[in-house]
Amino acid sequence: MSGSKRRVRILADEETAAFLADELAAAGESVVDRAPVADPGRLALDLGTVESIVALVSALFIEGPIIPRLWERMRSGKTQKLVFEGPLRKVTIEAKSDLTQEEIKAAFRLVTGMVEP
């Protein structure tokens, strides 16, 4: 995989946004912006207060511990829905009983244009 960083915007509830910001910082990734979304109703997320995180991420971040941790949050019900946005695509992932770590990883890859080796 390429060592270059790709821009991704993640929309999530406040608690998940804080979790992601901490994970990004711990992984040495760049958080460009983090702010509440002005009109979450238009996004149809039904999450209460929604935050947007814009970050530059590397393939190493996607291959690191973030995927299992996000998967666990979604399986436990702490995170109900995530929206990943890249320059050309947007993918929504919703918590469900058969959600796999590969589905989350594939969403990251799809929006960032990063592919497996």
* CATH number, residue 21: 3.30.70
Is the residue at 117 inside a domain?
no
The total of structural domains in the chain comes to 1
Dist. CA 71–CA 30, nearest whole Å: 22
Q: In this model, does residue 48 exceed pLDDT 90?
A: no
Residue range of the domain that includes 72: 6-112
What pLDDT sits at residue 2? 46
Predicted TM-score (pTM) of the model is 0.78
40: pLDDT strictly greater than 60: no
Cα gap 116→97, rounded to integer Å: 26
CB 26 within 8 A of CB 69: no
